[in-house]
Chains A and B, each alone.
Chain A
């Protein structure tokens, strides 16, 4: 038995106990709530026990979270999770990101929001409490099982966040596991550099909060189908659905903001599988919310309202499976978590089975009606819009699921080679439809609309949208048909809803939440297509000849090489790479953006410093730098840089010498100056150099002129001693360059000049890319307007709700 020094084992033991407690109490909550699941507002003892165990579960889960935070904060590397996801050097502000980088942490984050929402629902769900909380507690049991880390019959159930480093399967038999003092030298693995970004501190909690809210409409829908109360569930579930739409929508867009700020692919949306799997539940939730809205007013399309309410949550579980099981493997840039695939499949199949059972045997049996909505009615167009959302979600899910389809049908497909083109070819036309429906449906009335009146109301925004489309098409020289069409429909959606907000609800924010949310959505689409659809890569390769490819099929000339001090035209700017600076593990490449003024001189407009974050363990990560103007962004990032010799020791050393044959008057370029041989120096003072009387010495005057115009001089000397020739080198310290005068060939009048440069001069170039994103602020403003508008609508509905008995 080895006595290990410095381990804090107590925290983990308490944690283990709390994990079991949280799991068992969630099961007990399911049990008691099941017997208390009558739709009776009276609080019976079943429900009391249900509450008690849900709260006990909540307490245990908060305890687990608290302990894990504490262990990360105290750098307790005796725990595998802490070792794996953090390090001593990591700034404290990233402690949250360490917490949810791993599968166990992100599971806890999701369970945490279920705890928050569940405890609110205990008070607000009234007679629905038994049913709704039973569903909540059952989900918590599935999530809790993912933390158990037990092995009944040699099958792994869950992965325990408190497993010790020396007991982790990966570490078995490594020498340190038997060293009692191992904690003295063990250092954490650290956090993935991509996650060391402030967006990564707020994006995951927001997305998981959104994910958690999808459980509310799911639980209400199950309750309603179980208890055959097909209509009453909508009133309590509706505001929560819109709350989920606001939060999840915000979370998805934050992911885009993170990608734009921190990832170097040059854009905010790349149809990456992980992005897709958070977008799809949102699309379905939006569909569910709108169908519930029609049903609140009329008993229509009840079946689809149930279906979408159920599938929003099911797709959240499916997306968890996709991102955590590892099945995406080679396709996604960031599925960080290691998998517990079997458990996730059981989790998914359980709720899928439950949902489908009720959908087919209850909703399918009783709720499919064949009465039709009038063509000129608001509900008909909302219904159509929801169907378009379903198609959109179906197409994204299908193509994202290629690895799953391979597993199921033994096919051999790889994800689309050009994902952006593939997804856009479907999603652009669908977005045209959605924005068009958004534009017209606000002015339509429920049941039946007077077409003449409708036409009169919609005309002003229609005319303005056509004018705006023509203006933007002209300004941005858009020549793609679908972009033009989408420009028109999204502008129409924005203007029609703005018009509705101003003229119909008279600018009353409390009543205009939905109109504002639609304005926001229109702006998001408008901003996305103005910026991404019209992005201009200004780092065009102008001077170089593409020599390697005669067939030139995918010629790419978007990367440009910049030597230090070089200035290259990137229309409308001239860009100079001024210098490289190193701050800890960040290497900054400073670039000046210049314009030529009326006197024909370069004038600096602004500077950008894209950088590379050095990370030995997980690879170096380039991060972009962006200059924001009100009407456009200039995005710059490093695609390649030489990262050899970056430490200060080797940077100060001289690299490989170069010997050149030159004549007086010749000039040449070094990496930071123009060097010219001016003249011989025949009056070398032999004494002051400590040379012998018999030596013959000849110097050469060398002038180095930097690109800024500063002049430096060097005077290397060739010495002839007997039949031996040697050089007394001269250095220009400021430029990091050294000259030697090695010999002379009298017939050709050529001098052998040796040039050495410090390592910091050499390799000082970058390959970079610069992209202009026009009007990207429209997108961000749209995000804010959409989220706030939706939240206002939620607030209004919450207040309405409290006046009605549910």
Chain B
């Protein structure tokens, strides 16, 4: 076999590998109810912060623990727990995107992304700021 053929086979194999790894590492968009059935898989849920319920962050006890209640776009609500500091201006968020997994009825987020409305646009959705917070393991 020629060198060129070996190289071509290796390239194809690697390309397939890249596709497989992309699919397996990708998170899934879902709502909370679906997320429960996909235990162990990384899920990305889009929704809103429930401002009525407790947004808990007590840095004097633990600066790395933050929790809140979030309603997803299908209306289901879960408590979201994040091992990290509370993102600045979290209460102002218009939309919250969390990535993580559901365990025991609670959502453990590895990553929080929030969008804040602009004051000038009266919260029109085209003017958003995105903020991410990530917990490193």
Q: B131, A616: Cβ atoms under 8 Å?
A: no
Chain B: minimal CB distance from A560 (Å): 6
Considering the chains assembled together, what is the distance between the CA atoms of A390 and B62 in angstroms?
46
Q: A556, B135: Cβ atoms under 8 Å?
A: yes
Inter-chain contacts of A416 with B (CB < 8 A): 22, 25-27, 42
Inter-chain contacts of B25 with A (CB < 8 A): 399, 416-418, 422
Considering the chains assembled together, what is the distance between the CA atoms of A553 and B106 in angstroms?
13
Chain B: minimal CB distance from A702 (Å): 25
Q: A413, B26: Cβ atoms under 8 Å?
A: yes
Q: B63, A398: Cβ atoms under 8 Å?
A: no
Chain A interface, DSSP helix/strand/loop, else mixed: loop
The answer to whether A556 and B18 touch (CB under 8 A), given A544-B61, A561-B63, A619-B131, is: no
Considering the chains assembled together, what is the distance between the CA atoms of A558 and B30 in angstroms?
29
Q: A417, B42: Cβ atoms under 8 Å?
A: yes
1/0 contact string of B2-14 vs chain A (CB within 8 Å): 1110010001001
Q: B108, A546: Cβ atoms under 8 Å?
A: no
1/0 contact string of B59-97 vs chain A (CB within 8 Å): 111111101000000000000010111111100100001
Chain B residue with Cβ nearest A405: B22
Chain B: minimal CB distance from A543 (Å): 11
Inter-chain contacts of A265 with B (CB < 8 A): 132, 134
The answer to whether A554 and B64 touch (CB under 8 A), given A616-B119, A765-B59, is: no
1/0 contact string of A451-493 vs chain B (CB within 8 Å): 0000000000000000000000000000000000000000000
Q: Considering residues A375, A418, A619, which has the most beta carbons from chain B within 10 angstroms of its beta carbon?
A: A619
CB of A767 within 8 Å of the partner chain: yes
B103's partner among A391, A551, A555, A558 (CB-CB below 8 A) is A551
CB of B102 within 8 Å of the partner chain: no
Considering the chains assembled together, what is the distance between the CA atoms of A414 and B83 in angstroms?
21
The answer to whether A767 and B63 touch (CB under 8 A), given A330-B113, A639-B84, is: yes
Q: Considering residues B25, B46, B81, B87, which has the most beta carbons from chain A within 10 angstroms of its beta carbon?
A: B25
CB of B54 within 8 Å of the partner chain: no
Considering the chains assembled together, what is the distance between the CA atoms of A641 and B25 in angstroms?
34
1/0 contact string of B103-119 vs chain A (CB within 8 Å): 10000101101001011
Inter-chain contacts of B15 with A (CB < 8 A): 391, 394
The answer to whether A391 and B18 touch (CB under 8 A), given A541-B64, A555-B83, is: yes
Inter-chain contacts of A608 with B (CB < 8 A): none
Chain B: minimal CB distance from A218 (Å): 23
Inter-chain contacts of B57 with A (CB < 8 A): 640
Q: B118, A414: Cβ atoms under 8 Å?
A: no
Q: B134, A413: Cβ atoms under 8 Å?
A: no
CB of A425 within 8 Å of the partner chain: yes
The answer to whether A415 and B89 touch (CB under 8 A), given A265-B134, A426-B18, is: no
Inter-chain contacts of A553 with B (CB < 8 A): 108
CB of A172 within 8 Å of the partner chain: no
1/0 contact string of A272-289 vs chain B (CB within 8 Å): 000000000000000000
- Number of A-B residue pairs having CB atoms within 8 Å of each other in the complex: 174
Q: B119, A549: Cβ atoms under 8 Å?
A: no
Inter-chain contacts of B133 with A (CB < 8 A): 639
Q: A333, B132: Cβ atoms under 8 Å?
A: yes
Considering the chains assembled together, what is the distance between the CA atoms of A541 and B87 in angstroms?
18
CB of A107 within 8 Å of the partner chain: no
Q: B21, A417: Cβ atoms under 8 Å?
A: no
CB of B50 within 8 Å of the partner chain: no
Q: A375, B3: Cβ atoms under 8 Å?
A: yes
Chain B residue with Cβ nearest A402: B26
Q: B65, A620: Cβ atoms under 8 Å?
A: no
Q: A541, B63: Cβ atoms under 8 Å?
A: yes
The answer to whether A556 and B83 touch (CB under 8 A), given A391-B15, A398-B19, is: yes
Q: B130, A548: Cβ atoms under 8 Å?
A: no
Q: B61, A547: Cβ atoms under 8 Å?
A: yes
CB of A557 within 8 Å of the partner chain: yes
Q: B111, A417: Cβ atoms under 8 Å?
A: yes
Inter-chain contacts of B99 with A (CB < 8 A): 414, 417
Inter-chain contacts of A422 with B (CB < 8 A): 21, 25
Considering the chains assembled together, what is the distance between the CA atoms of A616 and B119 in angstroms?
7
Q: A417, B100: Cβ atoms under 8 Å?
A: yes
CB of B137 within 8 Å of the partner chain: yes
Chain A residue with Cβ nearest B114: A619
Chain B: minimal CB distance from A197 (Å): 16
Q: B21, A426: Cβ atoms under 8 Å?
A: yes
Q: B88, A612: Cβ atoms under 8 Å?
A: yes
Report, nearest first, the 8 A-B pairs whose CB atoms are least far apart: A414-B44, A639-B85, A556-B83, A414-B27, A417-B42, A413-B26, A561-B59, A561-B63
